[in-house]
Amino acid sequence: MNDKIVNNNHEVKMIDRCILNITGIKKIINFDNKEFIIESVMGPIHIKGENMELLNLDTTNGVIKIKGKVNSYVYLEKTNKKEESIIARLFK
């Protein structure tokens, strides 16, 4: 996904804990049916759940739509390039 998105606003909207709409997305770092790790204009976000799938990805406007049971979403601290990567910290 392109780091230059049209809109720098960031919004998270969850509907009935099964649809998650997020704006201000820069890129998807990694995802599967149990978790998404995405980079937003407000920092990295780690989303955990069950039966998760990517419904929509708008790279121009930085919008993502995820379907599945959402158990949690957490903003991760940004790291310096010299520090561990986000992925390495998650799997310690």
Q: Which range (7-16, 28-37, 53-62, 77-86) has the least confidence?
A: 77-86
* Domain 11-90: CATH architecture, name and number where available: Sandwich (2.60)
Query: What CA–CA distances, in Å, run from 72 to 42, 59, 76, 80?
Result: 17, 24, 12, 25
Q: What pTM was computed for the model? A: 0.78
**Contacts of residue 69, Cβ cutoff 8 Å, sequence gap at least 6:** 17, 18, 49, 50, 51, 52
- What are the tens digits of pLDDT across the range 65-82? 999 999 999 999 865 555
Q: What is the mean pLDDT of residues 37-47?
A: 95
Q: What is the pLDDT of residue 8?
A: 80
Higher per-residue confidence, 87 vs 52: 52
- What are the tens digits of pLDDT across the range 22-39? 999 999 999 999 999 999
